Structure 1
């Protein structure tokens, strides 16, 4: 998200001091959480964690009470997410292959390095099309006048996005136009 400075407020004296290094994290899970916080915050320009008394923070107090209650009687207006797995669990990650040239490569080459195709007609097309795109942190986005910027994806990721939109968690068997609109609303191009 590009955040450079973070101030974290917590009502846990123990957690704040473990992150600061004043207290030792003895529990193996807490040690993993502290290491995860330190890894994430090492890339920030500034990170401050403050412990505030529970009595001074009504939101945190209400949240801690909500977490310790049964959720069966809550009204539909209260949204509660129950995490099924820890956020620090180590997961098996497949190795990545080197990205192959795709439809985005010439656009990114032109935007990042000013490299135009050798063919005069293609070079002209590129100089006309390129202003519709922007590269942010190595990712190509298509700009819109009234729409949010759309993340550009290659053919493989596009097939996965279409499959997810057509038959995944947002399942709906739709026509081409409706499916295209759904993928665009997902923020992909």
Structure 2
């Protein structure tokens, strides 16, 4: 049996045995013929991991779930904690995605102090975050989603071998023939379709930054073009994620940034605003929203789910409910209630409805 007691006195000088499981370790050591204390800090006893295996720090079998907590440093990744748990009973029959989510649950429970103190990045190619954010998720996934809500957990796809990568180039042509060229270098090994999507996203973001309101995209990838236009269906989860991000960016380009844009970016891609206070607010309130096929919904109190709208759509809804076929020229508060019952929401809804009712010509002419 080997126990690593590196820097224990420094971690807790008043306690000779600061490990929370020291009693269990001593009990496990009883009966052993030899107890070896190794200086793990010196590194002479360590077997180095191959660079191409660094990203494979979490693995699962049919009956075992193992995971490693690593810390990113300038020199690379430093393992902090290793946990392995045998799956019991029904757990062995979970789907791969459920087993991966269960591994995160085990990690959060076992390493709670780390999860509370730091931002934890889960490296996985499985869409755990998207499944947990679905409005129709039920059973154990709901319980796990509630557990994760108290931590700052981010999900990223597994990387490839460091030093390898791909590149692409984009050309943005303005209405006056002005050309803007940009070269892209990816820190990961990407497929041809990934490169096409990355170039498309970079081009859309560049056009948005230059103030473009309309955009014509030309690509030599028939698959990517067909998926964006709706001719082809994105079956691969990674291509589906790319497609949703492109659709969100195109929608934002067409309608401009609205109050929904930060929530869409965070729920779909984990991107928060650069300003810390605004990012904290968006992250806190995002639990009330969900994204389905690029459409943002809000969990209501009197209604299960409300469709989020903005801009001219808000005016159209108020007009239809106030003076449309079923309209009765009600007051502002009643109009806001009708908007909610119709299944729509935007943050300034109540103020806008009061202002709309006050400015209604018919209401002013026939008011008592």
* TM-score (normalizing by structure 2): 0.25
Structure number, greater radius of gyration: 2
Greater relative CO (CA pairs within 8 A, separation 6+):
1
* TM-score (normalizing by structure 1): 0.48
